[in-house]
Structure 1
Amino acid sequence: MARKILIVDDDQKTRVLLKTYLEKNQYEVLPAHNGESFLAELRHHGDQLSLVILDVMLPDTDGFALCKIVRKQSNVPIIMLTASSDETDRIVGLELGADDYIAKPYSPRELLARIKAILRRVGNEPAAATRYLRFNGFTLDLAERTVVDADGKQVVLTGLDFVLLKYFVEHPGEVLDRGVLCEQTRGRESGPLDRSLDVQISRLRLRLNDDGKQPALIKTVRGAGYVFSADVSASHA
């Protein structure tokens, strides 16, 4: 079955181009031209979606508002299309729960590469011998791709937040540089001014109640990267 992607963009030529290109690459595309049509498609197909692509600028709303709505009901990966010169758009989108962004102008080939990278990482299959990873009262379920706290309450994470946390938990005590972490979550290295990883780690700390000023779980190693400092145990049941 083809993976289903919901795209909202108010430019008709862009919608037609992306739909044609992605369908040639075996994806099913649901195009929307504004926020209203996007929400209608989301209500009808929400539980079937593999990925959502949001343009920031729309005639009746903006991509940020739609990102909030999606995140309230789903962990489906989100890619935001942003103005090339506006870093603020990118940071706000990531803080609201987007998984990646692409600056305009972009090529369909670049978008396809980002889609494949995200779905490959979100869709990784867990190792057969290990299902649960436990740390500091949290339990990470590799099969269900969920995290619960000591009280059994599920921690709300985006798909790539889960991938990032999983990588940290699988490498406790190791200093992981930014290039490695970006490669694991986005399939590419970060540029010198790219703050997307910082935003994602801040978001992950918040979800885990890890004090951003004095974090106990994900610690910053100045000039080197980050280290996951908790003790981790693994089991199959």
Structure 2
Amino acid sequence: MTDIPVIAILDDEPEIRRLLSSALEEAGFRTHSFARAAEFEAALRRITPDACLIDLGLPDRDGLALVHRLATESGAAIIIISGRAQVQDRVAGLELGADDYVIKPFEPVEVVARIRARLRRPVQPASHDAQIVGFSGWTADFDRYLLIAPDKAEIPLSHAEAEVLRMFTDAPRRLITRTQMLDALGGSAGDSFDRAMDVRISRLRTKLREDPRNPQLIKTIYGAGYIFLAEVT
């Protein structure tokens, strides 16, 4: 991540782009704004944003498909900004890899706060150099947002998945409660946060090839939280 975080804004409404750019730059971020997905995707060849604000109602591309591509190919935090307020739209966005979902109309200061929460490291590692950790034959490379399986297959991590895995590997064999997750990862308490966390855990378990009926690495302690059972090296 650069010293000054870079935020990409993709929205076909000029006023939305102006409001977000102004609020973010005033808060100390650098911004790049785009009206069309084609322009945004072309720009990704020359810029590496730390976070992307994506509108779902794009004129030239399905917004959810773009979110999914970013989640699998990019380490950027992804925040959907959309007028679609239905629960199924929010759930679909989170399941496809978004870190957060903001419904229009919104207050720009809220978006700034959510970006800051997404870019903040969940738990400060013991060593600033410990960006590669091993556990149960797996390797997590947090600089490259990669999981390396015991068979050497490389599996990309989204920003959201990396946040959760970093939190687990920094505190192995210790109960992590939902309250601790909320404090570390940011967000608003309630069903939307719980649903987002359930989605992240489910995606992470899938990438770790866990049996959902009997997970061996990420154990759910019902009514309390989660425990990461592996030894971390």
Same fold (TM over 0.5): yes
Q: Partners of 1:102 and 1:13 in 2: how far apart?
A: 16
SS at 1:43's partner residue? Answer: coil
Distance in 1 (CA, whole Å) between partners of 2:225 and 2:33 is 39
Question: Partner of 2:187 in structure 1?
Answer: 188
Tell me how far apart the structure 2 counterparts of residues 30 and 90 of structure 1 sit (CA, whole Å): 25
Residue ranges of structure 1 left out of the alignment (5+ in a row): none
Identity %: 34
Residues 1:113 and 1:66: Cα distance change in structure 2 (over 3 Å): same
Q: Report the alpha carbon displacement of residue 133 of structure 1 after superposing the two structures with TM.
A: 3.2
* DSSP 3-state at the match of 1:89: helix
Partner of 1:10: 12
TM-score when scaled to structure 2? 0.87
CA contact (8 A) 2:219 2:226 kept: yes
The equivalent residue for 1:104 is: 104
Residue in 2 aligned with 1:200? Answer: 200
Q: Any conservation in 2 of the 1:83–1:89 contact (CA below 8 Å)?
A: no
- Structure 1 residues 41, 142: closer, same or farther in 2, change over 3 A? closer
Matched with 2:34 is 32
Instruction: Supply the distance in 1 between the matched residues of 2:40 and 2:147 (Cα, whole angstroms).
Output: 29
Letter aligned with residue 183 of structure 2: E
The verdict on how the C-alpha distance between 1:155 and 1:123 changes in structure 2, with shifts beyond 3 A counting, is: farther
Structure 2, gaps ≥5 residues long: none
Shift in Å, 1:24? 1.8
Q: Aligned runs of 1:135-214 on 2, under 5 Å? A: 135-141=135-141, 146-185=146-185, 187-194=186-193, 195-214=195-214
Give the drift of 1:64: 0.6
State which drifts further: 144-153 or 70-79: 144-153
CA shift, 1:79, in A, is 0.8
1:195-234 map, 5 Å: 195-230=195-230, 232-234=231-233
Question: Aligned-pair distance for 1:17?
Answer: 1.1
Q: 1:19: which partner in 2?
A: 21
Report the residue type matching 1:71 in the other structure. Answer: A
Decide whether the 8 Å contact of 2:122 with 2:166 is kept in 1. no
Inter-partner Cα distance in structure 2 for 1:149 and 1:10:
40
Shift in alpha-carbon separation, 1:206–1:223, aligned structure 2, 3 A: same
Q: Which amino acid aligns with 1:62?
A: D
Offset of residue 141 of structure 1: 4.1
Shift of the 68–144 alpha-carbon distance from structure 1 to 2, 3 Å rule, reads closer
Take 1:170 and 1:157, find their aligned partners in 2: how far apart are those partners? 17
1:210 shift after superposition: 1.0
**1:168/1:191 CA distance change after superposition, 3 Å:** same
Q: Give the conservation status (yes or no) of the 8 Å contact 1:75–1:158.
A: yes
Task: Compare 118-127 and 214-223 and name the one that shifted more.
Answer: 118-127
Contact 1:137 1:149 in 2 (8 A): yes
Question: How far apart, CA to CA, are the structure 1 residues paired with 2:192 and 2:128?
Answer: 39
CA RMSD of aligned residues (A): 2.5
Shift of 1:20: 1.6
Once the two structures are superposed, what CA deviation does each residue of 1:117-165 show, in whole Å capped at 9, x if it has no partner?
A: 1112279666157555322111234566643222333331112311211
Which letter maps to 1:33? A
The 5-angstrom pairing of residues 58-77 of structure 1 reads: 58-77=58-77
Question: Do the aligned partners of 1:99 and 1:160 also contact (CA within 8 Å) in 2?
Answer: yes
